[in-house]
Amino acid sequence: MKYITFENGDKLPMLGLGTWKSAPGEVYQAVLWALEAGYRHIDCAAVYKNEKEVGDALTKAFKDGLVKREDVFVTSKLWNNAHERDQVQVGFSQTLADLQLEYLDLYLIHWPVALKSHVMFPEKGADFLDHAAAPLSETWAGMEALKKEGKVRHIGVSNFNQSKLEEILASCEIKPEMNQIELHPYLPQQKLVSFCRSHQINVTAYSPLGSADRPSARKKANDPVLMQEQVFQEIADKHGKTVAQILIAWSLHRDVAVIPKSVNKDRIIQNLESADIRLDGSDMEAMSNLKTKHRYIDGTFFTEVPGSPYGQSDLWEKA
C-alpha cells in the first residue's frame, strides 16, 4: 500500500473506501468488510446521509478489536449549509457525533458554494449565501479553529479549482492539506494536480470509475461510459485484472489517493488488490491520452438554479 505522509508524520493510505451513494442498510456491512479486508481509510460526508451507520460500523470494529481507532484514517466533509464561521463548528459536531468519534483525521470543505443554514439542496436564488455573505476566508478560519483545537488532525477542501485555492492561500494561517476532486482518465486534471503539488496540497480522486451509479438527476443522455473504454479492457486483459482495478491503479500510479465506492464484498476486496498492480509506461500513456474528455459531476445542480450567485468558473478550471 502506498501512503501520503503529512508534515506531522501522519500517514494516509492512498486507497480508501468511498461511501457516497452507499445506502443506509448497506454501508454498515461495507465498512466492516472493508476493514476486514485491510482497508484503513474511510471517506465520508455529512450530505451522504449515512454517517450514523458508518459510525456504528466503526464502533463495532473498535469494540471487537478488529482495528484500533488510531489505525483508521477517517475523512468527512463540511456541507454547504454550514459555511458561516459560527456554523462550521455546528456542522462538524454533528458529523463527529454521527461517526461516534473523538476526532477526525481529515475534514474538507465539500464545495466552494454556500447555502443558508436551513437548506440542504438549493431550489432558488434565495437559498444561497453569496461570496460576500459567506466568504471562503471565513469558512476556512472556522476549519483552522477545529485543527487548532485538536478536533481535526488535517484540513482541506473538495471540488476547489486553482482560483478558489489561491483565495484561501492568500489569507490562511494553515494551508489546505488536501483537495478531493473528480479524477479519472476522461478527466485527468493535470494542470490542477500540478498546482496542488506545487503548494504541497495532496490530491484525492473521487468517482475514479466514472460514477455509473450516480443519481439519475446527475446523468445526461450523452454521457460516455468510462468502464466501457476499449483501451482499459486491453490493459486489464494484459495484466489479468478487471477494468475497475486498472482505473484505480491509474490514480495510484499518479501518486493520487483514490476512494472507490462499493457495497459488494468481492468488489471491495478486488478494489483493494489494485494497490498491487504495476502499470508500465505504455499503459499510463495509453490511459492518459484519450480523445474523450468528460466531467460526470458538473455542479450544475448549484450553478443552474435560478438566481444562483455561483457560476461554473467558481467550480472548475477554464477550458
CB atoms within 10 A of CB 14: 21
> Closest Cα to residue 60, out of 19, 30, 18?
30
Amino acid at 175: K
Is residue 48 part of the annotated active site? The answer reads yes
Distance CA 44, CA 247 (A): 21
Question: What beta strand segments (E) does 92-213 contain?
Answer: 104-109, 114-115, 128-129, 152-158, 178-182, 202-206
Distance CA 144, CA 181 (A): 21
| 240 phi, psi to nearest 5 deg | 70, 35
How far does Cα 185 stand from its chain's mean position?
A: 17
> Closest Cα to residue 101, out of 110, 93, 111, 109?
93
> Closest Cα to residue 80, out of 125, 148, 127, 44?
127
* 182 strand-pairing partners: 206
How far does Cα 189 stand from its chain's mean position?
A: 15
Distance CA 226, CA 123 (A): 30
Which of 39, 48, 296, 310 is flagged as catalytic?
48
Q: List active site positions.
A: 48
